[in-house]
């Protein structure tokens, strides 16, 4: 219930204090997926606050996201990646935040380090294929732009067939291993 109230207050704050939105986004991204925080779960209601800020300032939020995104995956990067992807599988309809980011900014990030970023992006683009006038299918655009790369092809296939669940399983196993070893 805490996340519900926090989300309500956070959304009101974001609407009322526009000048503080990016500062709030910084704090949220800094602690994204951190155990014991309001941002520790998948698809928590508090992510709606970050969605609202991203809708208002997509380029600025993307700049902040890329500081934490990886491709070295720690818990924070993993949770950010899942938030960006969303979960439209099995009719859930949970659209991620990545479509809010201007394509130009995404390409700039990938082109900074194609070797590491192209395949990584393919691992978390939304897994919904479509052709609709006025809308961009990110998975298709990634294929058009970087589809000749083996890592892009493999990561996109894994993304579509496992929908991130393999990543979650790997993360869960890693967590269990750390607990058992400690």
pLDDT class of 10 with cuts at 50, 70, 90: confident
CB–CB of 62/25 below 8 Å? no
* Each residue's pLDDT tens digit, 34-56: 887 777 766 567 888 899 999 99
Domain boundaries, the chain: 2-181
Answer yes or no: is pLDDT of 69 > 70: yes
Nearest to 118 by CA among 89, 148, 92, 94: 148
pTM: 0.80
Task: At 146, list the tokens.
Answer: 């970087």
* Each residue's pLDDT tens digit, 130-150: 888 988 899 999 999 999 999
Helix or strand (DSSP H, E) at 121: helix 114-122
Rounded-to-integer distance, Cα 44 and Cα 160, Å: 23
**What stretches of 17-102 show up as alpha helix (H) in DSSP?**
21-30, 47-56, 58-68, 75-85
pLDDT class of 13 with cuts at 50, 70, 90: confident
pLDDT at 152: 96
* Each residue's pLDDT tens digit, 71-121: 778 889 999 998 999 875 545 567 789 999 999 999 999 999 999 999 999
């Amino acid at each position: 219930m805490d996340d519900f109230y926090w989300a309500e207050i956070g959304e009101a704050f974001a609407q009322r204090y526009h000048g503080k939105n990016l500062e709030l986004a910084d704090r949220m991204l800094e602690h994204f997926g951190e155990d014991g925080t309001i941002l520790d779960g998948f698809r928590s209601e508090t992510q709606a606050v970050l969605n609202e800020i991203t809708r208002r300032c997509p380029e600025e939020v993307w700049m902040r996201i890329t500081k934490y995104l990886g491709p070295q995956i720690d818990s924070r990067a993993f949770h950010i990646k899942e938030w960006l992807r969303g979960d439209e599988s099995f009719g859930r309809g949970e659209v991620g935040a990545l479509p809010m980011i201007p394509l130009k900014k995404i390409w700039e990030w990938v082109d900074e380090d194609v070797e590491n970023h192209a395949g990584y992006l393919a691992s978390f683009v939304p897994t919904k294929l479509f052709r609709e006038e006025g809308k961009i299918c990110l998975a298709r655009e990634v294929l058009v732009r970087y589809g000749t790369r083996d890592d892009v092809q493999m990561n996109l296939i894994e993304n579509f067939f496992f929908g991130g669940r393999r990543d979650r399983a790997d993360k869960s196993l890693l967590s269990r291993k750390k607990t058992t070893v400690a």
